[in-house]
Chains A and B, each alone.
Chain A
Amino acid sequence: MNPTNGGWLILLTLALAMVLCVVHLPETWPQWLGWLRPAWVPLVVFYWVMELPHRMGLIAAWCVGAFLDVLQADPLGTNGLLLAGITYVAWRFYERLRMYSLLQQAGVLFLLVLASETLRMVVQHVSADRGLGWGPLGPALISMLVWPLVALVLGRLRDRIYVG
């Protein structure tokens, strides 16, 4: 991922997704809203891998995951594992995924985010003795709902700025 040839846009959108990951709501808002945070970084990574599979690969995704680990206070490697899995699926099937409609892509993302959040829950269960529950459903549903928005915004950006 070199910053020339529009690569800076990829980096910028990833940084923005990370900011959205750590933005927190005002303290007076109900706490359960915290369960409904879209998986911004996986969505953005998925988009770039699907559209530009030669620019964004497994190792880059894993490195993004390491940053995410620190931001979200997960054990190092957790998010790298999840993002590498999502990247592999997106990279393996990118030709097919591009042909899908936004709604079908949203369905695929629902399954991917659900799988990765479940895996994260299992990792936390094993490493930090946290309980298992229905938590992964929230991010998966919300990610599915915001995917069309993410795809449209990133598509518009690519219309303006060439990323090769």
Chain B
Amino acid sequence: MRESGAGFLLAGLVLVSLICIVLETTTRLLEPVRSALGSLVTPIVMVAETPYLLGGALGELLSSRSDLLEENAELRERLLELSQISQQYLALRTENAQLRELLGSRAQLPAQVLIAELIGVVPTPVTHQVIIDKGRNAGVSNGQAVIDAEGLFGQVVEVDEFSSRVLLITDADHAVPVQINRNGVRSIAGGTGQLDRLELENVPVTADIREGDLVETSGLGGRFPRGYPVGVVDSVRIEPTAPFAAVSVRPSARLDRSRHVLLVFSNTTQAQAAAADAAAAQEPASDASQSQGPTSDAAAAEAPAGSGDGEPTP
């Protein structure tokens, strides 16, 4: 490498880098490249994660009988509790469907979920992203909502062949349309870059939001399905001079602890298309909307589908 040649090469590479950065931030042209590179670096992420995987396996291997019995009893109790709730759920769901029919509004679509496991964390403090072990092979798609056992977790931002990346709701780039569970006041919950805090944006000082209110997804914008808990209002600060109230929300999902998450296949757009088709063919669309779910080999739990689901209203 001659000296001047290296200078030109450096200038060229700088130019290419800048073009790439601009393309990446303004368009989605480079997504296939990113996805291909992502598949290549997955082994590196896996290697970095082995201490935790091994630690988990070792812990399972060495856990004592009494611990297991205790855990078993706890899970049994929890199962009982949940099955009692789900008994009511069935009745409530039918009643809800009937009421919606009376109101003339469209029935809610069933959501399917797919269990995924965390295999890596993007370790830079400013970006909150994690990597999960389901990718294109499991039917994951960009923009899909991700929840954990407690609440909304994030959304898929990049799909590789065998893994995908999830942007957490607390990332400074992330925002989710929400409503207050108590009275339906709508707002947008933006990430702050801190793992334990979200902020409701542009809340008027007069809005009826109190400490302890449950914040849930509103389903507006079509990206997140409606009704998943996002967090609990932590504090409401009203300053006389500020135009908006500062409402901070503590996320319900255990963003830094959960190892298992659920990918939600809400299929709103696909199901709407299917419903339109059905309207044309005068056939129930439930078959069409169900055929596009995840592959059934994984733990694809399907919410019980009623006969009226997915049908357009007359």
Which of A's residues lie within 8 Å of B, judged by CB?
15, 18-24, 27, 31-32, 34-35, 37, 53, 57-59, 62, 65-67, 69-73, 75-78, 80-81, 84-85, 88, 91-92, 123-124, 126-130, 135
Main secondary structure of the interface of A (DSSP, over half): helix
B40: which A residues are within 8 A, CB to CB?
67
Q: How far does the Cβ of B128 sit from chain A's closest Cβ, in whole Å?
A: 10
Interface contact B17-A34, CB-CB below 8 Å: no
A19: which B residues are within 8 A, CB to CB?
44, 47-48
B47: which A residues are within 8 A, CB to CB?
19
> Among B1, B19, B121, B127, which residue has its beta carbon within 8 angstroms of that of A24?
B121
Closest 4 CB pairs of A and B: A77-B20, A81-B17, A77-B17, A34-B125
As a 0/1 sequence over residues 103 to 127 of chain B, the CB contacts with chain A under 8 angstroms (1 = contact) are 0000000000000000011111111
B123: which A residues are within 8 A, CB to CB?
21-24, 34, 37, 72
B23: which A residues are within 8 A, CB to CB?
76
> Among A27, A58, A73, which residue has its beta carbon within 8 angstroms of that of B124?
A73
Residue from B10, B127, B129, B195 having most chain A Cβ neighbours under 10 A:
B10
**Interface of chain B residues 1 through 28 with chain A (CB within 8 A):** 1, 3, 6-7, 9-10, 13-14, 16-21, 23-25
Q: How far does the Cβ of B182 sit from chain A's closest Cβ, in whole Å?
A: 32
Residue from A23, A72, A123, A128 having most chain B Cβ neighbours under 10 A:
A23
Q: How far does the Cβ of B261 sit from chain A's closest Cβ, in whole Å?
A: 15
The CA-CA distance from A131 to B122 in the complex, in Å, is 19
5 A/B residue pairs, CB under 8 Å, sorted by A: A21-B123, A24-B48, A73-B124, A84-B14, A127-B21
Which of B's residues lie within 8 Å of A, judged by CB?
1, 3, 6-7, 9-10, 13-14, 16-21, 23-25, 30, 33-34, 37-38, 40-41, 44-45, 47-48, 51, 120-127, 129, 165, 172-173, 193, 195, 256-257
CB-based nearest A residue for B121? A24
CB-based nearest B residue for A54? B1
CB within 8 Å for A127 and B6 given contacts A76-B33, A84-B14: no
B193: which A residues are within 8 A, CB to CB?
130
A80: which B residues are within 8 A, CB to CB?
13, 16-17, 20
The CA-CA distance from A35 to B19 in the complex, in Å, is 28
The CA-CA distance from A71 to B7 in the complex, in Å, is 28
B129: which A residues are within 8 A, CB to CB?
73
The CA-CA distance from A129 to B21 in the complex, in Å, is 14
Q: How far does the Cβ of A37 sit from chain B's closest Cβ, in whole Å?
A: 7
Interface contact B48-A23, CB-CB below 8 Å: yes
The CA-CA distance from A31 to B123 in the complex, in Å, is 10
The CA-CA distance from A27 to B123 in the complex, in Å, is 11
The CA-CA distance from A2 to B137 in the complex, in Å, is 33
The CA-CA distance from A57 to B1 in the complex, in Å, is 9
A53: which B residues are within 8 A, CB to CB?
1
Interface contact A81-B34, CB-CB below 8 Å: no
A77: which B residues are within 8 A, CB to CB?
16-21, 24
B13: which A residues are within 8 A, CB to CB?
58-59, 62, 80-81, 84
A57: which B residues are within 8 A, CB to CB?
1
CB within 8 Å for A130 and B126 given contacts A91-B1, A92-B3: yes
Q: How far does the Cβ of A120 sit from chain B's closest Cβ, in whole Å?
A: 9
Interface contact B48-A76, CB-CB below 8 Å: no
A75: which B residues are within 8 A, CB to CB?
20-21, 24-25
Interface contact A22-B14, CB-CB below 8 Å: no
